[in-house]
Amino acid sequence: MSRRTAIRGALLGGAGLAAGLAVAPAVRASCGWDRPPVTGGYAAAADNLGAVAHPDVTIRYRGDTTERLVAFTFDDGPAPQWTPAVLDVLDQSDAPATFFMVGRNLVRHHGLIRGRMNRHAIGNHTWSHPDLATLDLRQVSDELQRAHDAIREHTGRTPELFRPPFGHLGGSTVLAADRMGYDVVLWSDEMHERSFGGDPRAQAAFIVDSVRPGSIVLAHDAGGARRLITVRGLAAMIDGLRRRGFRLVTVPELLAAAPRADAARSH
């Protein structure tokens, strides 16, 4: 039996919630960060940040680079009010980001992003935002495929990145991502939308102070009013990070920086 067949069999045998628990311990440390993973389902169950290498899918919590690069990511949109507000700040700051879009929201609100995504990357965040760790392979595959098709139709791009809702990774999710050629992107830092008493300045200061080279930061461009703390503090975050010498990049740009960092260390 080949290694690939064995891994597939193990994942199929424990598809859904149970297999997610088997995936997390395979995470290997790549940077020696002294902080545990942030909240996010089985992302938080891992002992270290890094990458999980499966036959054809990679699970990333951060970029493996020593360059002062950071990737802001926005989940759950597009949505009226939220997405245009985020895009306005990013435009004014000349800053790129990565948007993990929910397919049905994109179908409803694709006009919000028309002509505004040139500097940004787009990823798959499922069709309807369910907890994929509770679904079987057929159901997970349908969620990914419907969102994949919507992104292609309404943006003209073929997404290559996928983020599971809540960061929950069951075995069926890994298999579906593998079959569709996706890399899975989780996060190393996140906006604390329930904290800081709703003060955008405090939220911004926290992000500016806590980000490290290679950070992938979780934010949202849809949801409840508490998430306005992120939108209202976004410009200050960008300015503060730039003062610390950081450059904002998309997730694909962040992941592409790893070989350059590895090459530099080998000389």
Question: What are the catalytic residues?
Answer: 75, 220
**For the residues of 16-52, what is the DSSP string, one character each?**
THHHHHHHGGG-EESS--SSPP-SSGGGTT-SS-EEE
What is the H or E stretch that residue 103 is in? helix 103-109
Distance between CA atoms of residues 243 and 34, nearest Å:
24
Residue holding tokens 């350059």? 260
| Strand-strand pairing, 28-29 and 161-162 | unpaired
Question: What are the tokens at 68?
Answer: 């002062």
Closest-CA residue to 183 (of 165, 154, 161, 205):
161
